[in-house]
Amino acid sequence: MQKEKATIPAWFIWTLAILLSISGGVTYRVLASRLKLTTGAPVKLPIPLSDFPLRVGNWAGRDVPIPTNIQHAAKNDDYINRLYVNKLTNEWVNVYVAYTARPRNMLGHRPDICYPAGGWVHDGTTPAEVVSRSGMRTPCLMHRFHWPSEQPEERVVLNFYILNGQLTANEDTFSGIGWRTPNIGGNPARYVAQVQISSVLENSARKATADMSELLLDFLPDSNGRVRAATYRTDPNESAK
């Protein structure tokens, strides 16, 4: 005589389904919250950008504050914004370096977008190259703007990026799907840094880029995660030759 198979009550199946759904939702929210906290926390550089020398050759710099709302909009992990003056020629440049370990956050923060949003008129963009004292070539884009007024002010901005220790002037190099994934591990060597060196004169911006580009590379991780400045870092107020 065969035993009758036990049937599972319908109420039990529905109850189990609801409990699994609730459990899954709670688990998802917990994981999502943890992921947000993990990916939202600033990634610290081995050496903060604030340690970049205030004196580089004949250039003497001072920090220029950036409004908090602009800092939040930029979503950078570290940055410097400085005014450097050449003590021999009295030329001045503004040096802005923004570092993020989440390269997707840097997309769209180009001078030809941000400057017009601030009221500047974009006069054109051309490719450029700056050669350092040792012969290192820095590819960049040269943006020209003017401020519309009775006495218009001109501005030349040399813009380039450092992507995992490599120089590039092309934003497309970090716009692919692979660069949009979250840096869950907080790896400081998976990054992009935007460099903008600007002045009223093209020659001033070029001169400062030639003097500072190699030194900037020393303060950011190379492709192996090494930071060369760690071997010789000194007080940021001391001069870098």
pLDDT for residue 4: 52
**For residue range 92-120, what is the model confidence (pLDDT) as tens digits?**
999 999 998 887 777 778 899 989 988 99
pLDDT for residue 47: 94
pLDDT for residue 29: 46
Please give the full DSSP string across the chain, using - where no structure is assigned. -PPPPPPPPHHHHHHHHHHHHHHHHHHHHHHHHHHHHHHHSPPPPSS-GGGS-SEETTEEEEE----HHHHHHHT-SEEEEEEEEETTT--EEEEEEEEESSGGGGTT--HHHHHHHTTPEEEEEEEEEEE-TT--EEEEEEEEEEE-SSS-EEEEEEEEEEETTEEES-GGGG-SGGGTS--TT--TTS-EEEEEEEESSHHHHHHHHHHHHHHHHHTS--TTS--GGGGT---TTSEE-
pLDDT for residue 166: 93
Residue 111: alpha-carbon gap to chain centroid: 13
Which stretches of the chain score pLDDT less than 50?
A: 18, 21-22, 24-33, 35-38
pLDDT for residue 188: 87
pLDDT for residue 183: 75
pLDDT for residue 193: 94
Instruction: Output the pTM of the full model.
Output: 0.79
